[in-house]
Chains A and B, each alone.
Chain A
Amino acid sequence: MGYLKGFMDFNRKDQDVRDPIERIKSWEEYVIRFSDQDLKEQSSRCMDCGTPFCHTGAEWDGAYVGCPVNNFIPEWNELVSEENWEEALRRLEETNNFPEFTGRVCPAPCEGSCTLAINDDPVTIKSIENEIIERGFDNNWVEAKVPENRTGQHVAVVGSGPAGLAAADQLNEMGHRVTIFERDDRPGGLLMYGIPNMKLDKETVDRRIDVMKKSGIEFTCNTEVGVDITREELNREYDAVIMCTGAQDPRDTPIENRDSQGIHFAMEYLTAATEALETDPKDTPITAEGKKCYRNWWR
């Protein structure tokens, strides 16, 4: 809260998006970054509440309110409003392994529980978070976290989605040797083959994987546990095994004409779409499972 009356003087402004006419020509990200002035104004809208909820991260009636990773939101809002980007990044990294992912695709329960949202529009927390990490990469402030000492323990992480990556990052930082197993050809799981490129550019995912590789994490792709390597083998060779495979069974929709041609599960479609993007983005199958995927397709 660099400026006390920010919330009184400035209205919420969301990040601009590319013109749809332009957007259909490519699969690049469609959200445009804020200007310096926007960032200063938007971050100063944070009221530094006496009793904030944005960073609380509590389960309420089966849903999350507040940031599930307990980001120090009011703190880095203030740092951003003071244009102290490097310190803001350090505070953000304290709680969040991958702000560039959450800053883009997190549903932002922090904004839903922002105190300002009681009678106004919430602070643009998610956009600010994303900008902090992007400036971090722009200025080479994001460093590989190579531990000073190794513990001699070796951990296998099965699955390289957000959970697997975060677990690996934390364990590596603590000094354990970490090997990640991924059945697909590229690491990232949902980040790579679930979220479409226009929301989360695959280069952004690769950028993080590179940082992690530099910090000493090993990736073994094209290896499906249970097929290419057995659970017993893992148990034998590693001191600990973490299963981060996600929910692989899609939920079917038992409706009339469900068996018609061209109806696919979201992940089947999204994986195919991203793979196609890497090769030749010609055909796009139609999907119908979940609102978001439909929306993604529609774009």
Chain B
Amino acid sequence: MRLETDGKMMTGRDVVKAALLGAEEYGFSTAPMVILGCILMRACHLDTCPVGIATQNPELRKKFEGNADHVVNYMRFVAEEMREIMAKLGVRTLDELIGRTELLKVSHKKEAHPKARQLNLEPILHHTDAAWLSRERVHINEYNDGHLDKTVIIPKVETALERGEKVELDLPIENTNRTVGTTLGFEVSKRFGEEGLPEDTIDLRFTGSAGQSFGAFVPQGVTMRVKGDGNDYVGKGLSGGKIIFQPNLPSALHRMEEVIIGNVALFGATSGEAYINGGAGERFAVRNSGVHAVVEGVGDNGCEYMTGGRVAVLGGIGKNFAAGMSGGIAYIWASDEKEIKKKCNRELVLFERLDDHDEINELKEMLTKHVKYTGSKRAKHILNNWEASVKQFVKVIPEEYKAMLTKEKEQEKVVQ
């Protein structure tokens, strides 16, 4: 356990005080924001940030004058002030400072203030036993140093990173291994740019439970397979990579809609593929703008705010599916069509049958790959009875998006 503090941390003095009261982590937000140019406009939610911070509007972004170095400089000042105070207190490291409430003195102002006077500070100034105070602390830097990408994966895939050679790797994974693949993805993008590597160049096969943000932002050319399950944020911001999950259970025990990845998978993903042989938690593929994904069931708010890509759900959906969905298409294999339609948010979307030849083939291709990668029984069954199954799919498409696709097609015809 680590005790974290935040709330108007501004100076080194604030940090030292928090540490003396027992804090082990210190969160800063207002001060670094102001250093980047924030003027406390309170318009972050309006897309009108006049200093170009809380907005994507290119005109407003031009006004952004922030500089990361200024934040670094600020943090240096905070550290410097901490050092000065620590020197006065005769303390060498921050660890020695934590929980040393005896070094704090109650200000004389307390007694002079009508409200503060009534406070009993005894509980927060209580001195905890020495064993707790002197216990070994995990530092965030050490945590990063022990990151799976840095310690294991990147050194082992060097040939792929240097010469683009195909590499396969089998590794165990635990849920304390977070953001696995992200730093590797950075190395790939740094060397090969936006295009990444040819498909499956780096093929990573994990067994176990993947920690949060597995495969986040992974680019083209990186394939990440898991035999087991995944935590929240699987494939967050996926940028071209491929993510495959299949359960690590004797097949007799596995029920198809059993959740095997956590919430908010594929959030804000832009491109790539995902094959999940099992159910996903809430908010699956929210803000997806290009990924093609197959999953065997999703929780509430699936495909919310989706703007592109394809999602095939071979099972049930939670409530509020497709809310605010303005692009992309979802295909739901529905045993109970009425129930599916009831669970969708109909504000922007239409329900249709699959009739377009190209579209049917595209879906078939997705399911074929799903079987190939995950051995999904359900997908196999659907493909075996394709003629009948294809009629059981409910196609969910935003009205505006459909109009746009139709227009595009017409224009293509004109060009031809």
Contact = CB atoms under 8 A, between A and B. Distances in A.
Q: Do A and B bind each other?
A: yes
Interface of A: 4-5, 7-8, 47, 49-51, 115-116, 118-120
Interface string B38-53: 0111110010101100
B59 A118 contact: no
Given A115-B50, A118-B51, A119-B51, A8 B41 contact: no
10 contacts: A4-B46, A4-B48, A5-B48, A7-B48, A8-B57, A49-B39, A50-B43, A115-B39, A119-B50, A119-B63
A119 B66 CA distance: 13
Contacts of A51: 39-42
Contacts of B51: 118-119
B60 interface: yes
A118 B41 CA distance: 12
A115 B169 CA distance: 56
A5 B46 CA distance: 9
B50 A116 contact: yes
Contacts of A50: 40-43
B164 to A, nearest CB: 45
B40 A47 contact: no
Contacts of B46: 4
A7 B42 contact: no
Contacts of B60: 8
A8 B60 CA distance: 8
- What 9 A-B pairs have minimum CB-CB distances, sorted nearest first? A50-B42, A51-B40, A119-B63, A50-B41, A50-B40, A4-B48, A49-B41, A4-B46, A115-B39
A8 B59 contact: yes
Given A8-B59, A8-B60, A119-B63, A47 B42 contact: no
A115 B42 CA distance: 13
Interface in B13-53: 39-43, 46, 48, 50-51
Contacts of A120: 50
Contacts of A7: 48, 50
Nearest to A7: B50
Nearest to B50: A47
B43 A47 contact: yes
Contacts of B41: 47, 49-51, 115
Contacts of A49: 39-42
A8 B39 contact: no
Contacts of B50: 7, 47, 115-116, 118-120
Contacts of B59: 8
Nearest to A120: B50
Most buried by A among B39, B46, B65: B39
Most buried by B among A5, A8, A49, A119: A119
B75 to A, nearest CB: 24
A122 to B, nearest CB: 12
A5 B42 CA distance: 14
A118 B60 CA distance: 13
A1 B194 CA distance: 42
A4 B41 CA distance: 13
Nearest to B63: A119
A133 B104 CA distance: 57
A204 B347 CA distance: 58
A50 B41 CA distance: 4
Contacts of B43: 47, 50
Contacts of B48: 4-5, 7-8, 47
A228 B48 CA distance: 62
A77 to B, nearest CB: 15
Interface in B349-365: none
B282 to A, nearest CB: 31
Given A49-B41, A119-B65, 12 more contacts: A5-B48, A7-B48, A8-B60, A49-B42, A50-B41, A50-B42, A51-B41, A115-B50, A118-B39, A118-B51, A119-B63, A120-B50
B321 to A, nearest CB: 31
Interface in B273-289: none
A8 B42 CA distance: 17
Interface string B44-78: 00101011000001011001010000000000000
A78 to B, nearest CB: 14
Interface in B129-180: none
Contacts of A5: 48
Contacts of B57: 8
Contacts of A115: 39, 41, 50
B60 to A, nearest CB: 7
A50 B57 CA distance: 20
Contacts of A119: 50-51, 63, 65
A116 B60 CA distance: 12
A116 to B, nearest CB: 7
A2 B350 CA distance: 35
Nearest to A116: B50
B149 to A, nearest CB: 40
Nearest to A115: B39
B102 to A, nearest CB: 39
A8 B50 CA distance: 9
Contacts of A4: 46, 48
B59 to A, nearest CB: 7
A71 to B, nearest CB: 20
A48 B63 CA distance: 18
Nearest to B39: A115
A94 B39 CA distance: 28
B54 to A, nearest CB: 11
A50 B48 CA distance: 12
B13 to A, nearest CB: 24
Contacts of B63: 119
B58 to A, nearest CB: 12
A51 B63 CA distance: 18
